[in-house]
């Protein structure tokens, strides 16, 4: 038990007094007991050290090279930090972070996708997507390649000016489009090379060399 030394002489309480040889300096010095036993505490004019832990102003650090700083509550206690910024390292062994807290609520990629409402399409590469069911609505496709598609509604193809068509060789034989300024009607011009400058809306296809009506 600590003893109140008020009114006592140093001689009678010497073994209860902690001291630093020649007083503290900028370099931490060991604190000794009155009987000369070194303690784990070191004191400097700017900070204190206990074993391998240094407390300097608002900073707590370790003194041993590459040493870990472990906060380990006793029993069922926990470490409560009101405000923290994690800028490096790793976090492990924690409860899955809930969606509401910015996490996924999961420990595996598969469970994370489920919790986020993502299907198998989330694992497919951008250059190789397979849609095997469901529906796709209001989608704009640029240069798509469709293999045996089943379309259960109308398909709207934006009509272009003939001058705005991609070069037929670039588009490739079999490519289709719609133009809005053909000089020929579909009935009269089917199979003919399309020419712009008119007012007819007609479907066209590329034979690899020309865009033809049809």
What pLDDT is attached to residue 142? 74
Lowest mean pLDDT among 3-7, 44-48, 190-194: 3-7
Q: How far apart are CA 3 and CA 53, in angstroms?
A: 28
Residue 210's pLDDT band (cuts 50, 70, 90): very high
Residue 5's pLDDT band (cuts 50, 70, 90): low
Q: Chain centroid to CA 30: how far?
A: 47
Lowest mean pLDDT among 64-73, 111-120, 149-158, 172-181: 149-158
Cα Rg for the chain, rounded, in angstroms?
Answer: 40
Structure tokens at 96: 């899955």
Best CA proximity match to 180, nearest among 193, 197, 192: 197
The contacts of residue 44 (CB under 8 Å, 6+ apart) are 24, 25, 26, 27, 28, 29
What pLDDT is attached to residue 28? 93
CA 34 → CA 41, 48, 49, 201, distances in Å? 14, 20, 20, 105
Highest mean pLDDT among 58-72, 146-160, 162-176: 162-176
What pLDDT is attached to residue 2? 58
Per the listing, tokens 């409860």 go with 95
Per the listing, tokens 């931490």 go with 28
Average pLDDT of the residues of the chain: 87
Residue 18's pLDDT band (cuts 50, 70, 90): confident
Tell me the percentage of the chain whose pLDDT exceeds 70.
Answer: 96
Contact 28, 55 (CB under 8 A): no
| pLDDT per position as a tens digit, 103-160 | 999 999 899 999 999 888 888 887 777 777 777 777 777 777 777 777 777 878 889 9
């Amino acid at each position: 038990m600590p003893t109140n030394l008020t009114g006592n002489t140093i001689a009678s309480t010497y073994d209860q007094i902690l001291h630093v040889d020649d007083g503290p300096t900028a370099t931490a010095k060991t604190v000794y007991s009155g009987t000369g036993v070194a303690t784990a505490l070191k004191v400097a004019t700017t900070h204190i050290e206990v074993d391998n832990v240094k407390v300097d102003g608002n900073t707590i650090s370790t003194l041993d090279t590459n040493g870990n700083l472990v906060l380990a509550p006793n029993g069922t206690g926990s470490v409560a930090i009101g405000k923290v910024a994690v800028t490096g390292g790793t976090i492990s062994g924690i409860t899955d972070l809930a969606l509401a807290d910015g996490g996924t609520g999961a420990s595996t990629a598969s469970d994370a996708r489920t919790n986020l409402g993502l299907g198998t399409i989330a694992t497919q590469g951008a250059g190789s997507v397979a849609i095997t069911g469901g529906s796709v609505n209001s989608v704009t496709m640029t240069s798509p390649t469709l293999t045996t598609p089943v379309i259960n509604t109308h398909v709207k193809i934006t009509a272009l000016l003939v001058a705005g068509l991609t070069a037929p060789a670039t588009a490739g034989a079999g490519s289709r489009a719609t133009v809005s300024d053909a000089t020929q009607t579909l009935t009269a011009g089917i199979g003919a090379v399309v020419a712009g400058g008119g007012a007819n809306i007609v479907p066209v296809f590329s034979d690899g060399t020309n865009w033809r009506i049809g």
